[in-house]
Amino acid sequence: MKKILPILIVVGALCATPLLIILSFLSASSVFAQVDSLGVAVPIQIEGDTQGGDIICSEEGGLTLCNEIYQPSMYGVITEEPPIALESPDFDGPLAITTGEAIVRVSTINGTIAVGDIVTSSETPGVGQKATVNGFGLGVALEAFDSASTEDVGEILVSINIHPISSFVGSRSNLVSNIRQALSSPVVAPLDSFRYLLAFVVALISFALGFIYFGRVVRSGVEAIGRNPLASRTIQVTIIINIVVTIVIVLTGLAIALLILIL
């Protein structure tokens, strides 16, 4: 009996080992299935209701849901099931992840999101969109998202890496939006900011020269007619020619400003 007992123990251990491995694997799979992010989450204080996947920004009054396109103050993403969280027993607020991977709420308001596209904030509070121009980005999409309605909101996995975007060249689908974005982020897109500023200066100078030249022509023409009424027809023709020259100057300045924006 003493000789058989060690043999039974060894056989039992050999039989139990595969079972323990299978149970451990199933337990780990169950845990990872519940995780919606990859990284260390930190507790935050934020006003208003939030949900997992919301993009949050850090403003002067504290953390809030991002509600602007390419918002430079992006802070991170709300996560509900992080693998690691630096929680406090006395704190019962939401958790946020600032780097790593996280589920993010997105829409197709700026186009279909493909794997590898840069995701940024949008005008819908807490919801992201596809980035198509230079500005600030939240991270890179690890999953695709498409919807027939731009109002639909879905969830995709995003590699969080908040940073300035400067890889888009020649994106001018919305001139007003681009001007506003370039002027609000001169460090991100210095060339765009300089181009818009130069175009504005050229247009302003052309208008100023045109009005100054036009005023002088009209004033000198009236004075000439008063001094020599018999030559009024010739003076009027001269005034018309000068007015045409003034219009050409203004249009030339506007054309140059437009070329600066396009090229």
pLDDT at position 155 is 94
pLDDT at position 9 is 42
- Please state, in angstroms and as integers, the Cα–Cα distance from residue 131 to each residue in 24, 117, 216, following that order: 41, 7, 50
Question: 59 with 139, same domain?
Answer: yes
pLDDT at position 64 is 93
- Spatial neighbors of 93 by CB under 8 A, at least 6 apart, are 43, 44, 45, 46
Question: 46 with 159, same domain?
Answer: yes
CATH of the domain at 217: 1.20.20.10
pLDDT at position 27 is 39
Instruction: Tell me the mean pLDDT in the region 8-12.
Output: 43
pLDDT at position 177 is 56
Q: pLDDT confidence of 8, banded at 50, 70, 90?
A: very low
Q: pLDDT confidence of 255, banded at 50, 70, 90?
A: confident
Residue span of the structural domain in which 207 resides: 192-262
CA neighbor of 107 nearest in space, from 159, 149, 68, 65: 149
What is the CA 226 to chain-centroid distance, rounded?
62
Give strand pairing partners of 155: 105
Question: 120 with 66, same domain?
Answer: yes
Strands 40-43 and 84-85, sheet pairing: parallel
Give 195-250 pLDDT, tens digit per residue: 777 888 888 888 888 778 777 777 777 777 777 777 777 777 777 887 888 888 88
Question: 217 with 113, same domain?
Answer: no
Q: Is residue 23 part of a domain?
A: no
Q: Is residue 224 part of a domain?
A: yes
Question: 43 with 155, same domain?
Answer: yes
State which of 152, 167, 182 marks the end of a domain.
167
Residue with the bigger pLDDT between 79 and 190: it is 79
Dihedral sign (CA 65, 67, 70, 72):
negative
Number of domains in the chain: 2
pLDDT at position 233 is 78
Instruction: Tell me the mean pLDDT in the region 21-40.
Output: 50
Give 91-147 pLDDT, tens digit per residue: 778 999 999 999 999 999 999 999 999 999 999 999 999 998 888 899 999 999 999
Question: 41 with 162, same domain?
Answer: yes
Give 156-173 pLDDT, tens digit per residue: 999 999 988 876 655 444
Question: 197 with 138, same domain?
Answer: no
